[in-house]
Amino acid sequence: MLDRLHEHGYSAYLVGGSVRDLLLGRRPKDFDIGTSAHPHQVKKLFRNCWIIGRRFRLAHVKFGPKTIEVATFRRQVDPSELPPDAAETDEVLEAVPEPPLPEDASVEEQIQSEGTHLAKVRAHDRLIHRDNTFGTPEEDAFRRDFTINALFYDIASFAIIDYVGGLKDLENRLIRSIGDPGTRFLEDPVRMLRAVVFAARLDFTIDEPILEAFETHRHEIGRAAPARLMEEYFKILRSGVAEKTFRMLKQTRLLREMTPELDAAGPALWESLARLDRYRQRFAAPPDTLTNAILVGSLLVPLGLAGLQRRFSADPLERRIELGMLPIPRRDVERLQQILAIQPRLLDIQAPQRAQRALLHRSILPEAITWLEVHGDRPDVVAHWRTLLAEPREHPQASVEEGGHVPYPRRRRRRR
């Protein structure tokens, strides 16, 4: 991909976390590309490309099950481009018409103009609306969150391009913000959570100015979208260092702002997270068996918010569970209840074979076995059910009469 972009005159680099992980000798979970090509220009070069996003367009290029994200270099809107009177900003900016374009303007020019206009309209909010405009590689590096995530790799010269001192911070094992941490956290409060996640996962130290900014701005995490925070929690639980990450979130008092129930939890929660980490660390990458229902259960069950002792309600509103500001997806809660409901039947390996084989047709069984493997402390029971699942199953078929005729199933008599 990089070669093809270069052949057509575009600059393109491997960017972000993949460069960081390669330099640390870790296996990147995915690869991202930064380029001077606009999304529609990327689409012209790759037939297996889809353009996504409304606020800022990205190109996703698919290679089998893998997806490479290609983003055009971006920059932040300069404060001098904003109206000076903040009190009248909302009315003024919303009334600004989109600048006219010449009739012969290309698609790429239209996209860039639209992105620039929207960025100016929304730039009065310090949230991340301010990075909608295209820019240069250096501008793109300076708009990123932390120095270790702003490294570019150029395959043409086999060189690391470092505009922000990220290589030195990698050597010092330090999480350092690009620019003033307070300003960066106001732009995107989730960066506070990500700073702790990187420190826990990479075993790095958090820079002192970031810790000081936590003291001032931790309450801003409440402005983040709950669904986005929920997705970050799922990533933490799949990381293999969930216990360490949540303990660091507790130490920095960010956990109290997002999920006070977890902040006040006892030893049962930490034991549950430790079990989850031990299971995850057996795999090179997050396994498909760690479904959202199992991850949610690892938090809810130790808190007593899910389990067999909980009364089932037919009212969807009563079945709704929230952790602080995080709404737990109802489908995951309902699936968790199914997993927990069949645990007693899984533990009874002395039950008749017919009763055991009846469970093999339950779609929830693989997840229930994984739950037992993670939290059950019964490897003998897990091995028993794995063996049953591996055995060939007999599917009842209609008997064939002489002459090859398959009889119709007998109709059930109607009860009077």
Active site residues: 30, 32, 145
The candidate with the shortest Cα–Cα distance to 71, out of 7, 13, 8, 9, is: 13
Assigned token pair, 75: 């920059």
307: left (phi over 0), alpha (psi -120 to 50) or beta: left
Strands 322-323 and 326-327 turn out to be antiparallel
Say how far apart CA 36 and CA 9 lie, in whole Å. Answer: 9
61 φ, ψ (degrees, to nearest 5): -110, 120
* Residue located via tokens 């290309």: 106
CB distance 187 to 179 below 8 Å: no
Q: Where are the alpha helices (DSSP H) in 123-266?
A: 137-142, 166-172, 181-187, 190-202, 208-217, 226-237, 242-251, 254-258, 260-263
| Cβ atoms 151, 159 nearer than 8 A | no
